[in-house]
Amino acid sequence: MRKATGLIVDEMRRAPGRGCPTTDLETASGCGAAAERFSATLVLKLGYDGTRYSGFAEQPDRCTVAGEVRQAMETFLRRPIELICAGRTDAGVHAIGQHVSVAVLPAECEIPRARWLRAMDALLPPDISVAGVFRARRGFSARFDARDRTYTYRIAAGSVRPALIRPYVWWHRLELDEGAMRDAATCLVGEHDFKSFCRASSAAGRPTSRRVLDVDFAHESELGENVLAFTIRGNAFLHSMVRTIVGSLAEVGTHRRDPAWLADALAARDRAAAGPTAPACGLCFMDVSYDSGELEGWL
């Protein structure tokens, strides 16, 4: 983690260690204060390059996005926090529209947006960026109050290896039949049991029904290189669900399977019925939507 310097250090007046704080700004649950002291919720919109991270969620002895964000926030606020995210991305998956929420105290509500941005820029590593600062009501949850989430998976198809965008796409050496993939993907829209498209171990004993609102394919140019972008929006997603869908669509795109096969795989409710899991590097968490008026710009 980068060390804060100059004005940021002066602003934080950082104390050694992570013991119980001594000021109202530092008071929080976990150090004797009741949760009722929180008056609002801070929501940060994050972007990150997931290449070197073992996913978003904190794990013992692993470098994670949540671990870095928590450390930065606790250093700045000088107190423990509870960090809630809109969606836990897997190892190697990127984000441009991740949202995290943290309950804040009255004094912390007075911290201006510019100071939040300066502090996070100083304290977060260069591959994690704060793109937005919002205020929400007390009790707001970035996870449970989310209405839908959007992911985009990018594929560079063909024999020419991408030069500049390779860390953020799946280089698929064979050409893909986009029309066949579009036909196959129509079966995904609606409320279905997506057990076939998630990691088998994560599905055991848990509900696997999800609602996909829409899917789309588009051609994009990134730094002068062409990619096929598959975008999917739904209320929630299972572990590796989007990547397994993309891996299965690629089977259709290379004509190893016909478009109707994807619907059969979905109906089977069996991971063995679907295709391979596409690499993590091509997936990006693009956006989260909330009810109108839930998020206000932080002044």
Annotated binding site: 151
Confirm whether 90 is a catalytic residue: yes
* CB hemisphere CA count around 145 (13 angstroms): 19
Separation between Cα atoms, residue 130 and residue 80, nearest integer Å: 20
In the set 10, 49, 61, 90, the catalytic residue is: 90
Within 8 A by CB and 6+ apart from 90, the residues are 55, 239, 240, 243, 280, 283
* CB hemisphere CA count around 69 (13 angstroms): 29
Within 8 A by CB and 6+ apart from 88, the residues are 55, 56, 57
Cite the annotated binding site for substrate by residue number. Answer: 151
Separation between Cα atoms, residue 31 and residue 19, nearest integer Å: 8
- Count the neighbouring beta carbons within 10 Å of the beta carbon of residue 269: 15
Q: How many helices (H) and strands (E) does the chain have?
A: 7, 11
88 contacts 57 by C-beta, under 8 angstroms = yes
**Could you give the 3-state DSSP secondary structure of residue 10?**
helix
Residue 158 Ramachandran class (φ > 0 left, ψ -120 to 50 alpha, else beta): left
Q: What's the DSSP call for residue 156?
A: E
Residue keyed to tokens 């993939």: 181
Residue positions annotated with a catalytic role: 90
